[in-house]
Amino acid sequence: LYDHPNSRSAPPFSTERRDDFERGTIELSLPIDDTVRVSLKGDAVRSDSNIAAFDYRQNVVTLGLTVRL
């Protein structure tokens, strides 16, 4: 929980800012053969604030290939 003052909560915006923050990650990794592996990763972030300008969602998907020599 974030309770610190900011530029949008000072007068005339006299609301104290409160944020709830959640984050999640999932990753799958599959071997193709003895030296090559493919991976898929998903990251999600959610921030809910009592001040609408600070609400946001972020989703990132990453595809990777690893080769061991």
DSSP string, the chain: -B----TTTSTT--PPP-EEEEEEEEEEEEESSSSEEEEEEEEEEEEEESSGGG-EEEEEEEEEEEE--
Whether the pLDDT of residue 63 is over 70: the answer is yes
Whether the pLDDT of residue 53 is over 90: the answer is no
Q: What is the mean pLDDT of residues 31-44?
A: 97
- Provide the pLDDT for residue 33: 95
Whether the pLDDT of residue 36 is over 90: the answer is yes
